[in-house]
Structure 1
Amino acid sequence: MKIFFIFLLITTITFAQNSVMVFQNNSDYMHRAIYDLLTKNIFLYSHFKIIETKENNNYNQVKSKIKELSAKNNSDISILYNIKTFGDGFLLNYIIYNNSNRWYENEYYFRETNMFNAVNKVLDDFYKMNNVNISRDNYIKEDEYISLIGYYSDIMSNDNIYNLFYSFHKDNIYFNMDYLEYLFVNNGNANDLISDILKTIDKKNHYYFYVLGIKYYNDYKVNVIYDDIEKSILNYEEAIKLKPNSYLYNEKLAKAYLLKNDYDNALKYYENAIVLSDNNTSLIKEVLGILNRDFNKNANKIIEYLNEIISIDNNDDEAIEELAKLYESIGDYENAYLYYNKLMDAINYHLYIINNEKPNASLYDKYTAKKNRTQTKIKSIENRMK
């Protein structure tokens, strides 16, 4: 195998890094595979928090403004990659950039069947650049990658991917990480499943405890044995001790406490998860569900969180409507009027998308009806303000 080096500039990193963002490119299964394997391996075997990206990214465009984009997304380290055909194989170009302006750029030639070596090259450079000690046993193995080629090919277009590949990949952690909860809920041989997953993970790894947390959580939901929810909580807490910057682990612990009706601890870990996920609005809405149990006590906090959702997505009609109704219920008609008008703007935005970009008859009917109700409500508020 021939390795091509463009240039290398490494300066010793003297401060702790916390987060990493891999610019996603889903143009084909190889790009999807690299993103998936890189982010999962870094999540499993390092202290880094993964900043999720969903959109496709153009390599040259991102390369020219990687510093700006890294800062915008609060990323300490960013990884950018691209694959192109080269001779009878492929060429992987990649950049590793950190927010103190240190830059590493390289390219690596590979054949399709040994793309895992290309992924491992990026991982090796990433770990060395950031002084992370990792056993070679924890890099991507040939049998793990080869068995997933079909999975990554079909995941681009097939919604039934779990049923197609479970029997082949039930012991492949890079597959199971996508379907862990689904596997527990829908598999009659849960104990065998646990054995398949845990045999590939060191018992000191945070993910080991996370798997057990999910196991006992689902056991409790089926059997309602109090000891199971306690075990679930203990294992989630161990996972968080080892990887405290995982919003997922904090969210799962919050759900476990919620199942136990321990609302104070549920709220605590949901709020941790919100901070760690950079204000995921779905998590904020789950917190609102808890706070609304005692509206009089939590009214100010509810208003704060609703405004936070709207600041993240000013077209979130559910949050805007809830805030408008809240102000109306306490007699603050000026703010109610303001937010009902913002609701009209959000409704018109959604109708525009439906009419011009994503036709959907049921959503059209929903937003048309909501628009009529909101117009009536605005007129009613206007009369009250006279």
Structure 2
Amino acid sequence: MSDAPAPVPDPVRSARLAADLDAADLRSDPLRQLWGTEADDALGRGMREPILRAIADDDGVLATLGRLFVLGLPQPEAAVASALPTLGVDGLVALGLARVEGDTVAPCALLRPQSFVDADGVGEWWIASDLDEVALDGPLPADHVLGVGGASRTLAETVVPVQVERALDLGTGCGIQALLVARRAGTVVATDISRRALAYAELNAQLNGVTNIDFRHGSMFDPVAGEAFDLIVSNPPFVITPRTEGVPAYEYRDGGLVGDALVETFVRAAPAHLTRGGIAQLLGNWESRQGVTGLARLEAWVPADLDLWVIEREELTPLAYAELWIRDGGTTPRDAAFVPLLTAWLDDFAARGVTAVGFGYVLLRRGGGEPLRRVERLGQSVSNVGAALAAG
């Protein structure tokens, strides 16, 4: 479990922090200009040294906050106090985002600007999340709350851009999908089984002045029993992980079920929570087993009276899949734990006769006419998926 405390959302302190971040211009373009495009791109590959070299002699407000929040590095207390005049160091500590160690302020979280483009225009938010592998200099704790990653961006680009009264973000994590959907919804319910994740999500809503999100704790559809929604989105913890002692179960990616049972559970349960014309969308993995393709198994889970559109973007062998997610947790082939983890993954797949694992997008819709059933593989890069799904 994480050594850092969970955030403590507070609307007054969050507003003060947002005012300081705005005054410092802690946004993507100014940061990129500060340390350069090449260094910024290197950070995306897990290297912060180019940024540190670029701002080594810069003690300005933006450089101080960049090192503290973007890179996750301790900074002198006096410099942080100067950079956050409205909130102050005590306020930052009270939010659970930092701690004071002697005459330095050590971050307990990352806080990065995240730009987005959707059907309503261009914007940017500040998104807080747990310290990553680079900041921790090691593997992630099991209760790690992820920031905005590739899967988050994929789902955001996939969601159908429709105006709705009620929306649900199931498994909200840091809250990025809830924030996006809130731009087109009267009310959003955001759920997660992780109280730590909900704390980050609520803090992020406060930082960005978003007030139409209702945060609820619980597993799958339990927090919304008996309720229906016009739009359901989910980037669930769909990663297939062996239920074997010694294999880390990361809350942000592992739903605690065997194989692809979490995606099956979602797909079977979601229709009961859709209004007439309502749409449910998720990312997921599905297993091909003993001659039955993953797409065929997935299609069989969906009631025949619902519209279904599945786009499989990628299919991996069990070996490639295992290596991908072992590395994602911060373990490499140089580490002693790598081979035992790989063995556990391959044994788990072999026990179910898994021959491949697919990844892609799923759309369900409670329509009123002849059901649309479209299941396809698209290996090439695609864009504007949400608009295409709306047109379909």
More contact order relative to length (CA 8 Å, sep ≥ 6): 2
TM-score in terms of structure 1 length: 0.30
Structure ID, larger Rg: 1
More strand by share: 2
